[in-house]
Structure 1
Amino acid sequence: MLIAFYSTLIIFLILFIVTLSYLVLLVKLKKATGGNVIALFFLLLLTGAVSGIYGFDFFKLQVGEVQIAQGNCFIEFNDNGRSIATTTIELNDKVYQIKGDTYNHLPDGTYQCNVHYLPATKIIESLHLEK
């Protein structure tokens, strides 16, 4: 379930390293002009922030400190649960998304559920349903 999470973390870490390397190269070659430096600096801030958020969740996942929410949840399958579709889970006035084909055998409705999710990104790590 967490393949997209890991992929995003890796992509943004690589982008952060490439941006930082390019900025250092421009400074060393003394070709760093105002526009180049400003654009690269903001790209570096953006990739650093996203990498930090996903890195925080990665750390929490590795040490087993995921958040837990439980109660009655309403599950709605968008696009009939096809592989690129998402499943919307509403629990305690919060909305979570999970890949659509995971529970596509169930009808839309309200279930007793237990959701384990990552604290910063709210990506679902596991979902347990009870009728």
Structure 2
Amino acid sequence: MPVLGSSKNSAQFSDLGMSDSAKVLARSRLRAHFLRTLSSLASEACPCSVRMVDGPPVTGVLRAADLGLEHLGVSQLATPIGTLTNAILRTCDIISITFHIDQLSTDAQKIADREDYDDNERERQPQSTSRNLRNQSKGTSLEDV
């Protein structure tokens, strides 16, 4: 999943003819949706598979993320040398995370899919960036976390 702040995607924004305020609004809405999704995944103790830079994939249960998204708290981390009860993974060492969302409860899916409010917070506006997690059967992958 591309990050809107990256230089590659900044060129895509300029091609769309978006004003600076529209870019800021789009980034803030995408960031809010991402954080809501991450929060619902962590609150439901969502099982995940993690591809690391060095070594084979590991599996565990996502529990938390720090404020800057530099570290992820994972429990029951199954590695080739054994299972760790609790572990902290540095996101700079992660290539991708696959969340097994077919095991999420309906409440967590509703939180992740909730629509954002518009600028004035008077009425709800559906966002084109919102993804329907219920339609994913095997999981979703967040590249470049």
TM-score for both structures, normalised by structure 1? 0.30
Which structure has the larger Rg over C-alpha atoms? 1
TM-score for both structures, normalised by structure 2? 0.28
